[in-house]
Amino acid sequence: MGWSIGYDSTWERDIGYGVPATCDHTGCTAEIDRGLGYVCGGEPYGGEHGCGLFVCSEHTHSNRHHDQLCQHCADRRRRKLQPSPDHPDWIRWKLTDESWQQWRDENPDEVAKLRAALPAQGHDKGGEK
């Protein structure tokens, strides 16, 4: 099984090293991907110790359990990061690449959401919960 592109049903978004993204740390605009090298917990979907969100190297922390965690999971806080919106490059890819045509045909509501998000898309992630 490859990790280029997949889907995380917990966070309801595409993941994998083939998915361009922005760091999920609030206020960070670092461009990364949603591959295992950036996932909190270092394992698919975060494993046992992480939340499964994606952070850049500047926002990667460690604790006695694991060395690839977001700040909240490393500190074992109840407050969690919120996922950043899809990167505009990824949205454009899904909306235009021929390899996604069948997905577009089968998911018109999702396509409409992506089209609506693209013009307003920025790197502002809002606050944390």
92-to-15, 82, 95, 114 alpha-carbon distances in Å = 16, 22, 5, 9
pLDDT for position 119:
65
pTM score:
0.84
Rounded to an integer, what distance in angstroms lies between the CA atom of residue 127 and that of residue 129?
7
Rounded to an integer, what distance in angstroms lies between the CA atom of residue 22 and that of residue 2?
22
* pLDDT tens digits for range 28-87: 999 999 999 999 999 889 998 899 999 999 999 988 878 899 988 998 876 788 999 999
Rounded to an integer, what distance in angstroms lies between the CA atom of residue 117 and that of residue 9?
20
